[in-house]
Amino acid sequence: MDDSQHRQAPPQAGAADAAGTGPDTQHADSQHPDGKPKRSRGRRGGRGRGRGRAKTDPSAQTPATPMEGSPEAAGQAGAASALAHPAPAEAQPAAAPKARSRGRGRGGKPSEDQAAQDAPLPQAAKQPRAPKVSKEAKEPKEGAESKKKHNKKMFIGVLPGELVEVVLTEESAVQEYFVEMLHQAKTKGNIYKGYIHNIDAALQAAFINYGAERNGFLQIDEVHPEYYQGSYPLKKGARYPLIQKVLKPGQEILVQAVKEPTGKKGAFVTSYLSLPGRYFVYTLGRDQQGVSRKIEDEKERERLKSCIDQIGPPEGVGLIVRTAGIGRAKTELVRDYKFLHRLWGEIKKKAQTEKPPALVYKELELAVRAARDYLTPDVSEVWVDDPETFEQIRDYVALAFPKSPNMVKLHSDHDKTMWERFGLTRQVEQIYSREVTLPSGGRLVFDHTEALTSVDINSGKIGGEQSFAKMAQKTNMEAAEEIVRQLKLRDIGGQIVIDFIEMKDPKHCRDVEKVVKQAMKNDRARTDVSNISPFGLMELVRQRLGSSAISVSTEPCPCCGGTGIRRNLEWQALQAMKTIHRLLRRPGCPNPLQMPLGQELAIYMLNNKRELLTEMGARVDKRVEIVVDTKLA
């Protein structure tokens, strides 16, 4: 499938959907586990029983803000608005009260400590019921889990004026990696004033000249009706008019890049603009109001919707609450909205005076975007190796997270890099490898083609399994989690086909599918996952968030042209011999005949074909000389 023709959801919705990752923390439930309150026993028939009630104080738990951001939702607005108005730290869950057991005794009310430990039995035949543990008693376990979730770190490596690298880790394992070389012009998130270069009626799309090397690709469903010219009666059953009827070459248009150019394809652009802030995505052209689907708590969703209603954005402006807005006060939300509203006014004013093609809004650099979009309360430390960037991030954290002033740390050890200090070098280098090794010895092999990416799973040297079925399931379960992690690390988008080891048991197939779909929930990109087919193949589609580290730092091999293979030296030597044979028979052949070859091939021929070269020259009374040419591969 051609990437440029692949339909995407509107950028506004995409920004909101990708505004956070990971399941939101659920509110603690203070009711009895069976849903009914405990009933104390009263006096019946003259018999008295001691009453020991389990007294618990329900504690509300504020959901922690999950991992934030879609690079698609990145923009100057968020960082500036966050710096303009500080955000209070996330509320911490209250300490869970100690659950108390109900005891039985004779002749009065026993102390609760005694009832909980060794209350006497009224009858030998009757055994005491197991004490029912309230959900508050389970909260320490949840607290431990919460602590584990906080073991996330961010590392920002900067070569001033040249390179920015961002690594996100959890439990010391690299989860996401972003790289940006500053000499490469970034277009995603930028807003341009361009003009229509030409219209393709067959594709129902226009090509927009916005100042880049290749024109942007604008589909009819990404054209706002305000740009339509003339009448456009819709045909029966059609959602959009014919693009050649409503747009004209040379027409000026304001567009935003939502996908970077890849290969020979230009950027994918839209006329439905969006500006991301700290708590909102401010959308133009679609006055939809909503809350990110990552926010699952219904009470919080209703509160945030109520705040949007009170803000009352003007007609044609939409607001979508990002996951960072969870628990934020109305005043903070209003400040963020006002900043975005002012920013849009400045962009609109600039667009009216510029001549196309022109840039009217530029995206921030990676280091600042990372702090705004990925720095959330579940990140415990931020390490930066550049003093100037360190100051910027520290100032931002002081405003956004005032209770964590020491979160940002400067790496100043010049004897080793930050990657070496924290053991990240090998993990980062593995991103560029074709093969990835699984814990039990299996291997993943990634191959990229023009149409799709294929992932093959090999069992490797897994030992100790009783049967092929168990081995296949074990390898596929490990591969399922690692593949999802690698898709995020490499930012692989488009069509992806995974070739699992054959599993004959349908239950094993369902287990592997469940692992993939569960792991995909923590992916910021939009994804669509199929079930495993009878041939052992799983297909999935993943949104490409930006330029991957591989695409910006690699190029096709000049020897193989990107195929990964080349003709061997014997074949190359024979082709050179054919050329020499032809030249020797040509009238006017010089003596000696000099044949320029690359160094590797020249050495091979002198070592293996010297006698044949001598014989070929002797037949026509000529001498053949092999000359090394360093310019030849």
Residue type for 586, please?
R
3-state secondary structure of 202: coil
Question: If you write DSSP's letter for every residue of 99-113 in order, what string do you get?
Answer: P------SSS---HH
Q: What integer pLDDT is reported at residue 150 of this predicted model?
A: 53
* pLDDT tens digits, 128-141: 454 444 433 343 34
The answer to whether the CB of 526 falls within 8 A of the CB of 493 is: no
Alpha carbon distance 449, 460 (integer Å): 24
- One domain, residues 576 and 512: no
| Mean pLDDT of the region 20-43 | 39
As a whole-number percent, the residues of the chain with pLDDT over 70 amount to 75
* pLDDT tens digits, 371-428: 877 887 788 999 999 999 999 888 888 877 777 878 999 999 888 999 999 999 999 9
Say whether pLDDT at 85 is over 90: no
- One domain, residues 583 and 511: no
Q: What integer pLDDT is reported at residue 559 of this predicted model?
A: 77
Sign of the CA dihedral running 550, 553, 559, 562: positive
Exposed / middle / buried, residue 600 (Cβ in 10 Å: 0-12, 13-18, 19+)? middle
Alpha carbon distance 92, 77 (integer Å): 28
Give all strands (DSSP E) within 246-351, no chain letters.
252-259, 268-270, 274-276, 280-284, 289-291, 317-321
* pLDDT tens digits, 20-29: 333 333 333 3
Angle at 280 between CA 78 and CA 372, to 5 degrees: 30
Q: Which residue has the tokens 């041939």?
A: 535
Contacts (Cβ under 8 Å, ≥6 apart) of 266: 4, 207, 212, 214, 215, 216, 217
Say whether pLDDT at 317 is over 70: yes
- Weakest mean pLDDT among 218-222, 406-410, 551-555, 600-604: 551-555
- One domain, residues 494 and 586: no
Q: What integer pLDDT is reported at residue 633 of this predicted model?
A: 64
Q: What integer pLDDT is reported at residue 221 of this predicted model?
A: 92
Q: What integer pLDDT is reported at residue 5 of this predicted model?
A: 40
Say whether pLDDT at 7 is over 50: no
* pLDDT tens digits, 549-599: 787 788 888 777 777 788 899 999 999 999 999 999 899 899 989 999 999
- One domain, residues 461 and 544: yes
Q: Is residue 370 part of a domain?
A: no
C-alpha dist (Å) from residue 390 to 14, 43, 68, 129, 366: 31, 70, 21, 59, 14
Structural domain span for residue 615: 569-628
Spatial CA neighbour of 188 closest among 372, 375, 15, 396? 15
Q: Is residue 426 part of a domain?
A: no
Beta bridge partners of 269: 257
Residue that is last in its domain, among 361, 378, 398: 361
The number of angstroms, rounded, from the C-alpha of 188 to the middle of its chain's C-alpha atoms is 15
Residue that is last in its domain, among 493, 525, 553: 553
Exposed / middle / buried, residue 237 (Cβ in 10 Å: 0-12, 13-18, 19+)? exposed
Confidence band for 607, pLDDT divided at 50, 70 and 90: very high
Q: Which residue has the tokens 């197991």?
A: 130
- One domain, residues 346 and 452: no
Say whether pLDDT at 499 is over 90: yes
φ, ψ (nearest 5 deg) of residue 382: -125, 120
| Mean pLDDT of the region 75-79 | 40
- One domain, residues 538 and 448: yes
Q: Is residue 487 part of a domain?
A: yes
Q: What integer pLDDT is reported at residue 157 of this predicted model?
A: 93
Q: Is residue 161 part of a domain?
A: no
SS3 percent helix, strand, coil of the chain, rounded to 5, is 35, 20, 45
The answer to whether the CB of 632 falls within 8 A of the CB of 596 is: yes
- Weakest mean pLDDT among 168-172, 529-533, 553-557, 568-572: 553-557
| Mean pLDDT of the region 472-496 | 91
Kindly report the number of other CB atoms within 10 A of residue 379's CB atom: 22
- One domain, residues 341 and 243: yes
How is residue 86 written in tokens? 């500080």
Higher per-residue pLDDT: 358 or 371 = 358
Q: What integer pLDDT is reported at residue 563 of this predicted model?
A: 78
Q: What integer pLDDT is reported at residue 9 of this predicted model?
A: 39
- One domain, residues 321 and 454: no
Q: What integer pLDDT is reported at residue 406 of this predicted model?
A: 87
| Mean pLDDT of the region 199-208 | 94
Q: Is residue 499 part of a domain?
A: yes
Say whether pLDDT at 13 is over 80: no
Residue type for 460, please?
G
| Mean pLDDT of the region 453-469 | 75
The answer to whether the CB of 19 falls within 8 A of the CB of 63 is: no
Question: For the whole model, what pTM was predicted?
Answer: 0.63
- One domain, residues 321 and 227: yes
Say whether pLDDT at 283 is over 80: yes
Establish how many alpha carbons lie within 13 A of residue 195's alpha carbon, considering only the half-sphere containing its beta carbon: 10
Most confident of the ranges 6-15, 77-86, 310-319:
310-319
Q: What is the CATH number of the domain that holds 196?
A: 2.40.50.140
Beta bridge partners of 632: none
Contacts (Cβ under 8 Å, ≥6 apart) of 528: 540, 541
Mapping DSSP onto H, E and C, the string for 439-483 reads: CCCCEEEEEECCCEEEEEEECCCCCCCCCHHHHHHHHHHHHHHHH
Q: What is the CATH number of the domain that holds 505?
A: 3.40.630
Say whether pLDDT at 69 is over 90: no
Say whether pLDDT at 197 is over 90: yes
Helices 366-374 and 387-400 pack at an angle, to 10 degrees, of 30
Q: What integer pLDDT is reported at residue 102 of this predicted model?
A: 43
- One domain, residues 512 and 583: no
Q: Is residue 351 part of a domain?
A: yes
Alpha carbon distance 124, 114 (integer Å): 19
Residue that is last in its domain, among 553, 577, 608: 553
Q: In what order do the strands lie in the sheet with 408-410?
A: 173-181, 163-170, 152-159, 379-384, 408-410
The answer to whether the CB of 533 falls within 8 A of the CB of 30 is: no
Q: Is the peptide bond before 225 cis (omega within 30 degrees of 0)?
A: no
Q: Is residue 381 part of a domain?
A: no
- One domain, residues 600 and 545: no
Q: Is residue 492 part of a domain?
A: yes
Q: What integer pLDDT is reported at residue 48 of this predicted model?
A: 43
Alpha carbon distance 516, 509 (integer Å): 11
How is residue 362 written in tokens? 């530029």
Angle at 371 between CA 541 and CA 319, to 5 degrees: 65
Quote the mean pLDDT of the chain: 77
The answer to whether the CB of 61 falls within 8 A of the CB of 27 is: yes
3-state secondary structure of 146: helix
3-state secondary structure of 186: coil
* pLDDT tens digits, 46-56: 444 444 444 44
DSSP 60: -
* pLDDT tens digits, 321-331: 988 788 888 88
- One domain, residues 308 and 202: yes
Q: Could you give the number of structural domains in the chain?
A: 3
